[in-house]
């Protein structure tokens, strides 16, 4: 008498526990703690990306800018900074650039290129020049030489002014008319008895006498006007003579001081040209260095202005440094990273100040941008931030194409500001731009911006994972040791390193690979170090690593716990025991930020005679995505190609994710939907203790899916909350076995026979596991074995087709009303 098998024994054999979690053995690492290990800070597994970055940094041809693409946490910024800094260290410091006044057109400042370290010297020299002249020019105007020459000039012009007037006065006196000086000017009066006639005496004269005097005065008045007419011209000549005196006097000291500055920069022809214009302007405007001591302009500007940089009138002689490199410190090409790449932060800006309610500016208010600071070196930008700033991307492309930096105000560009502005000379540009972004953005730029591929000819694509070999395991351990040293963490035990490497495998979703998302591993190490410090340990142990991982999951699992609670309380209906026709547990992955977890969903199928349509309710209500719809359409192709191929497909089936109130996408549930359909067609119930994941093709082969670990763990948690019976498990594609890195509690449950993970390759294997009945393989005669799942399905489809044929011939006419009583 044979013993009847239990339900658990009748289930297919699950995968061995060691397959469910392939852990790293601490004994194989070859060290006790990371303190004994030679650490490394080398970026591993990124040879392709490193070669691309090195090429971009070393090639001299233009437009070989580079886009660095990859996921966050891959160490892209750190790698770029390290490699570019090494290349920059071997390059000479680039030229300094300054803006100086254009004396011919002040609104168009001149850009001047200087040797590295020379900009500060020129600015200091110009400050000293003006400070010296502010002392020396006033002293010249107070000198005896100047006073003598000025008095002589005044006497000369005074004499030239008085002589015509004296001659006229003498002629007038001969005619009996006196020339009088009054506060209002010159006045003519008749002379009687040797004295100017008084008004009352004039009135007492006879009319004939008065007319005679009036005619004489009028005639002399015309002559006086002609004499005085030369006065303004004489004043003009006097002013010109004084200006020439000032210029001639100032020229000696100005030329001497300017020559001293020119001698310091005699190797730079452009500086010499600029200083000559400065000399001419200073000679012409010597009064800028002087103000009246009493606050009035009586004398020739005797007060000294000593601090020219505090006085706006001396801005004309200033040197506005755009970029300067101190040779003693910056003996390398610059590496600039701009965290806020706005238009002004990239190309620079022109500031304005308010004067008398009006915005004004000058060349000293031109401010540099990141392109100026990085000129001759490297500029590192975040691609998303750059493209988020208005006009920044266009400005960067324009600068790279023209190989020059033109400063454009955003207000002017938009026409929002109408005020005095400048047109500075463009500065030649020679740099390498490094954009750091993700793969999707790179693809969009290649697709939508035709200029992108011309300007960014290189791409550095960072790998997501690293093969899990013995060599790479050792290398990963050294990298972990390097991070511990770099972050000043406690040394890690070999077991802790092994636990961290297991987490790296888990994050890679592949038991044969390590993730290269090293930022996530650093976070685990830092948190584990905190727990070790709280416990007063000298080492980070595997328990600290496990605690850090557990706590990180716990902090992010609020939604996961609420969903699990809803399942436990049967608010969300999920069966984990018994058997039901046309119903199966499908598995999906839910993401909340950086936390992903699996959740089971009830999938049901209902069938009837119809026109050969498989209705996807999710798609009909626009909750299903295109990939999910594709999976459902594949089910129709599978059914029509496998069963009852000699009759029309006469099936009307509906599929739905029960209690699904959000979007559904992906084809990982297509195999589960097919199992539900086969169960509904065959009438054979499906074990509810088993959940299913995997996509299917039209040949009935089960294909790999993503998130397999999370999906298994999600169903395990549901089963555990209701009590593990040993009849529960998950069906996964055989191709996903290599991706397994399950939690310890699931491995222990599998070892105890309370939970199993079953790998399948075909739909036939899956339906046999779910129903406990043979799927059946078509025989030579074309029929499936009697009683098999496939035979029952085909029989049902043939019955639908026959009933449809009979219905079309009215053989299955609707019953009459009297027959229904």
**Over 80: is that where the pLDDT of 247 sits?**
no
φ/ψ of residue 357, rounded to 5: 80, 5
Residues 541 and 598 in one domain: no
CA 686 – CA 675 distance, rounded (Å) = 8
Residues 727 and 590 in one domain: yes
Answer yes or no: is 87 within a domain: no
Answer yes or no: is 56 within a domain: yes
Residues 371 and 477 in one domain: no
pTM: 0.78
Does 219 or 127 have the greater pLDDT score? Answer: 127
CA 695 – CA 586 distance, rounded (Å) = 11
Mean residue pLDDT across the chain: 83
Residues 602 and 702 in one domain: yes
CA 272 – CA 260 distance, rounded (Å) = 11
- Residue 447 tokens read as 């697709």
Q: Which residue is listed with tokens 């001396």?
A: 314
Q: Which of 571, 603, 626 is the last residue of a domain?
A: 571
pLDDT tens-digit readout, 366-416: 999 999 999 999 999 999 999 999 999 999 999 999 999 998 877 666 665
Report pLDDT for 286.
Answer: 77
Residues 269 and 361 in one domain: no
- Residue 500 tokens read as 């961290």
Answer yes or no: is 99 within a domain: no
**Over 60: is that where the pLDDT of 298 sits?**
no
Report pLDDT for 622.
Answer: 57
Answer yes or no: is 83 within a domain: no
Residues 678 and 725 in one domain: yes
Q: Which of 2-11, 85-94, 461-470, 775-784 has the lowest mean pLDDT?
A: 2-11
**Over 50: is that where the pLDDT of 306 sits?**
no
φ/ψ of residue 353, rounded to 5: -125, 155
Residues 507 and 555 in one domain: yes
pLDDT tens-digit readout, 486-528: 889 999 999 999 999 999 999 999 999 999 988 899 999 999 9
Residues 562 and 607 in one domain: no
CA dihedral 418, 424, 428, 430 (to 10 degrees): -50
Q: State the CATH number of the domain containing residue 235.
A: 1.20.120
Domain count, the chain: 4
**Over 60: is that where the pLDDT of 148 sits?**
yes
Residues 176 and 267 in one domain: yes
Answer yes or no: is 630 within a domain: no
φ/ψ of residue 644, rounded to 5: 45, 55
- Residue 619 tokens read as 């798609």
Residues 449 and 339 in one domain: yes
Got the DSSP string for 679-691? HHHH---EETTEE
Q: Which of 446, 462, 478 is the last residue of a domain?
A: 462
How far from chain centre, in Å, is Cα 6?
61
| Pairing of β 366-367 and β 349-350 | antiparallel
**Over 60: is that where the pLDDT of 303 sits?**
no
Answer yes or no: is 409 within a domain: yes
* Percentage of the residues of the chain whose pLDDT score is greater than 90: 44
Residues 138 and 151 in one domain: yes
Q: With bands split at pLDDT 50, 70 and 90, how would you rate the model's confidence at 310?
A: very low
Task: Kindly tell me the number of DSSP H helices and DSSP E strands found in the chain.
Answer: 29, 32
pLDDT tens-digit readout, 105-146: 988 999 999 998 899 999 999 988 888 888 887 777 776 776
Answer yes or no: is 116 within a domain: no
Got the DSSP string for 337-394? EESS--HHHHH-EE--EEETTEEE--GGGEE--HHHHHTTSEEEEEHHHHHHSTTHHH
Q: State the CATH number of the domain containing residue 765.
A: 3.30.230.10
Q: Which of 462, 478, 507 is the last residue of a domain?
A: 462
Answer yes or no: is 339 within a domain: yes
Question: Which residues are designated catalytic?
Answer: 668, 711
**Over 80: is that where the pLDDT of 598 sits?**
yes
760 — alpha (psi -120 to 50), left (phi > 0) or beta?
A: beta
Domain carrying residue 706: 575-615+641-654+667-805
Q: Which of 154-158, 426-430, 739-743 has the lowest mean pLDDT?
A: 154-158
CA 108 – CA 790 distance, rounded (Å) = 86
CA 203 – CA 355 distance, rounded (Å) = 61
Got the DSSP string for 194-213? TEEPPHHHHHHS-HHHHHHH
Q: Which residue is listed with tokens 């397994």?
A: 740
First-to-last alpha carbon distance for the chain, in angstroms, is 54
Q: State the CATH number of the domain containing residue 58.
A: 3.40.50.300
Mean pLDDT along residues 429-434: 95
Residues 732 and 685 in one domain: yes
Mean pLDDT along residues 171-183: 70
Got the DSSP string for 279-327? HHHHHHTGGGGEE-TTSS--SS--EE---GGGSGGGGGG--EEEE---T
- Of the candidates 660, 682, 672, the residue with the CA atom closest to the CA atom of residue 730: 672
Q: State the CATH number of the domain containing residue 561.
A: 1.10.8.60
């Amino acid at each position: 008498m044979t013993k009847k098998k239990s339900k658990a024994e009748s289930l297919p054999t699950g995968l061995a526990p060691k397959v469910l979690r392939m852990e790293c053995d601490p004994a194989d690492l070859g060290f006790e703690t990371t303190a004994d290990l030679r650490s490394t800070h080398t970026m591993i597994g990124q040879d392709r990306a490193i070669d691309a970055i090195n090429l971009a940094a070393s090639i001299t041809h233009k437009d070989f800018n580079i886009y660095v693409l990859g996921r966050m946490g891959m160490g892209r910024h750190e790698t770029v900074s390290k490699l570019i800094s090494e290349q920059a260290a071997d390059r000479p410091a680039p030229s300094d650039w300054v803006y100086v006044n254009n004396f011919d057109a002040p609104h168009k400042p001149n850009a001047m290129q200087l040797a590295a370290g020379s900009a500060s010297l020129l600015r200091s020299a110009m400050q000293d020049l003006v400070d010296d002249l502010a002392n020396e020019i006033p002293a010249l105007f107070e000198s005896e030489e100047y006073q003598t020459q000025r008095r002589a000039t005044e006497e000369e012009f005074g004499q030239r002014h008085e002589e015509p007037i004296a001659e006229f006065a003498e002629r007038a006196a001969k005619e009996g008319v006196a020339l009088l000086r009054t506060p209002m000017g010159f006045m003519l009066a008749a002379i009687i008895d040797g004295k100017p006639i008084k008004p009352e005496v004039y009135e007492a004269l006879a009319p004939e006498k008065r007319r005679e005097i009036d005619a004489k005065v009028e005639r002399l008045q015309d002559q006086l006007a002609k004499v005085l007419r030369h006065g303004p011209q004489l004043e003009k000549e006097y002013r010109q003579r004084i200006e020439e005196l000032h210029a001639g006097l100032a020229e000696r000291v100005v030329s001497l001081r300017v020559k001293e500055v020119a001698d310091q920069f005699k190797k730079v022809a452009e500086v010499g040209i600029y200083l000559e214009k400065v000399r001419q302007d200073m000679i012409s405007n010597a009064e800028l260095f002087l103000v009246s001591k009493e606050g009035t302009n009586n004398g020739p500007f005797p007060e000294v202005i000593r601090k020219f940089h505090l006085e706006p009138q001396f801005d004309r002689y200033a040197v506005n440094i755009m970029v300067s490199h101190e040779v003693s410190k910056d003996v390398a090409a610059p590496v600039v990273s701009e965290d806020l790449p706005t238009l002004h932060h990239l190309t620079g800006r022109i500031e304005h100040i308010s004067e008398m309610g009006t915005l004004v500016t000058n060349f000293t208010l031109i401010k540099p941008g990141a392109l100026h600071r990085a000129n001759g070196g490297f500029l590192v930008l975040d691609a998303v931030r750059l493209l988020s700033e208005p006009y920044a991307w266009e400005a960067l492309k324009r600068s790279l194409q023209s190989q020059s930096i033109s400063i454009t105000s955003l207000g002017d560009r938009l026409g929002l500001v109408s005020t005095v502005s400048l047109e500075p000379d463009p500065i030649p540009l020679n740099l390498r731009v490094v954009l750091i972004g993700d793969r999707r953005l790179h693809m969009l730029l290649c697709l939508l911006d035709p200029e992108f591929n011309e300007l960014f000819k290189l791409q550095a694509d960072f790998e997501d994972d690293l093969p899990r070999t013995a060599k790479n395991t050792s290398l990963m351990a050294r990298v972990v040791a390097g991070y511990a040293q770099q972050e000043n963490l406690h040394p890690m035990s070999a077991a802790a390193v092994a636990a961290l490497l297991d987490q790296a495998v888990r994050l890679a979703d592949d038991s044969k690979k390590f993730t290269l998302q090293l930022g996530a591993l650093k976070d685990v190490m830092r948190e584990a170090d905190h727990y070790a410090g709280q416990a007063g340990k000298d080492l980070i142990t595997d328990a600290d690593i496990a605690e850090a991982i557990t706590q990180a999951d716990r902090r992010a699992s609020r939604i996961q716990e609420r969903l699990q609670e809803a399942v436990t309380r049967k608010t969300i209906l999920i069966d984990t025991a018994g058997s039901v026709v046309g119903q199966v547990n499908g598995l999906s992955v839910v993401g909340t930020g950086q936390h992903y977890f699996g959740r089971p969903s009830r999938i049901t199928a209902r069938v009837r005679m119809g026109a050969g349509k498989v209705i996807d309710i999710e798609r009909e209500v626009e909750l299903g995505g295109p990939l999910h719809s594709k999976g459902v359409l594949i089910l129709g192709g599978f059914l029509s190609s496998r069963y009852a191929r000699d009759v029309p497909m006469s099936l009307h089936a509906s599929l739905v994710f029960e209690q699904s109130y959000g979007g559904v996408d992906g084809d990982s549930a297509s195999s589960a939907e097919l199992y539900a359909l086969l169960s509904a067609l065959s009438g054979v119930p499906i074990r509810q203790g088993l959940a299913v994941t995997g996509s299917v093709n039209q040949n009935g082969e089960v294909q790999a899916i993503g998130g397999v670990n999370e999906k298994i763990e999600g169903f395990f948690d549901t089963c555990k909350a209701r009590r593990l019976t040993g009849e529960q498990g998950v069906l996964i594609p055989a191709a996903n076995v290599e991706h397994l890195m399950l939690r310890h509690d699931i491995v222990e449950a599998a070892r105890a026979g309370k939970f199993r993970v079953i790998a399948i390759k075909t739909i036939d294997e899956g339906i046999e596991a779910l129903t406990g009945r043979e799927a059946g393989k078509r025989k030579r005669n074309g029929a499936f074995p009697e009683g098999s799942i496939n035979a029952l399905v085909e029989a049902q489809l043939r019955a639908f087709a026959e009933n449809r044929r009979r219905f079309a011939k009215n053989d299955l006419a609707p019953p009459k009303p009297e027959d229904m009583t």
